[in-house]
């Protein structure tokens, strides 16, 4: 029986690293992708020391040509990609009317265009094999307005819509495409958003002045919480689920 191969972007840290670890612990071979080559090498080396089948591939998902070369290299070295996880992401904060062109372009380039580049390259090969599963890690901000997060929310909304449309188009080939939408998660991205309070305390308490409720469950997610949702949607247990958006936010968007 052929081993399952997953390609995970944003694998050097945060949610992407947690997904990489969990899938590898479940016996999946993982092609770990990130543009931070140094950190990615350290992460992959640590996982291999634990006996996990992880191979690193440094690449920038914003480059169409780089992504095409990457996917070709992964399949040449490791075999056909059965699962794709789009977890690479960046965050630029600020009021919408003060965002720079660079803020907007950088955010959309990674969070939306990167998902397009990677999904196109991988799914084109999955279609020939008539099997595969894709999960895009988006955000609960894609469907709920957030102050000072306009570029991020827009990019995640685009990635969500793209993934669902892709799922519709490739369903007849047996390929499933789903979205996991995390809320506040204990990652460097979240910790970079807060100064006076800890990131966890600020997220749980909410911001009434910004019309932002807190988290009903009283805690932020761990990266592993999101990783488990991703792993489920990739698995055969979710074999009849596609074009679905699974929110993992402790109730922060009140189930809407």
What span, in angstroms and rounded, lies between the C-alpha atoms of 118 and 120? Answer: 5
Find, among 90, 112, 78, the residue nearest to 7 by Cα.
78
Indicate which residues carry an active-site annotation: 152
DSSP secondary structure of 100-124: -HHHHHHHHIIIIIHHHHHHHHHHH
Show the tokens assigned to 202. Answer: 């600020």
Find, among 71, 110, 75, 89, the residue nearest to 16 by Cα.
89
What span, in angstroms and rounded, lies between the C-alpha atoms of 141 and 227? Answer: 18
* HEC secondary structure over 175-192: EEEEEEEECCECCHHHHC
Contact 81, 126 (CB under 8 A): yes
């Amino acid at each position: 029986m052929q081993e399952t191969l997953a390609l995970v972007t944003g694998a050097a840290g945060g949610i992407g690293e947690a997904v990489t670890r969990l899938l590898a612990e479940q016996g999946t071979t993982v092609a770990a992708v990130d543009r931070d080559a140094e950190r990615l090498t350290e992460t992959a080396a640590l996982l291999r020391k634990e006996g996990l089948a992880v191979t690193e591939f440094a690449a920038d998902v914003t480059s169409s040509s780089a992504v095409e070369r990457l996917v070709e290299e992964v399949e040449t070295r490791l075999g056909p990609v059965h699962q794709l996880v789009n977890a690479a992401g960046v965050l630029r904060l600020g009021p919408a009317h003060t965002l720079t062109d660079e803020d907007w372009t950088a955010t959309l380039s990674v969070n939306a265009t990167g998902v397009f580049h990677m999904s196109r390259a991988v799914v084109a090969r999955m279609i020939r094999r008539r099997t595969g599963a894709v999960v895009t890690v988006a955000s609960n901000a894609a469907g709920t307005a957030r102050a000072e997060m306009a570029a991020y929310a827009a990019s995640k909304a685009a990635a969500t819509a793209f993934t669902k449309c892709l799922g519709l188009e490739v369903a007849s080939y047996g390929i499933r495409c789903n979205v996991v939408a995390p809320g506040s998660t204990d990652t460097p991205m979240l910790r970079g958003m807060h100064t006076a309070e800890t990131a966890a305390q600020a997220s749980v308490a909410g911001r009434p002045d910004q019309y932002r409720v807190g988290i009903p469950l009283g805690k932020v997610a761990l990266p592993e919480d999101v990783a488990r949702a991703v792993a489920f949607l990739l698995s055969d247990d979710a074999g009849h689920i596609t074009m679905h958006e699974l929110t993992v936010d402790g109730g922060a968007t009140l189930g809407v």
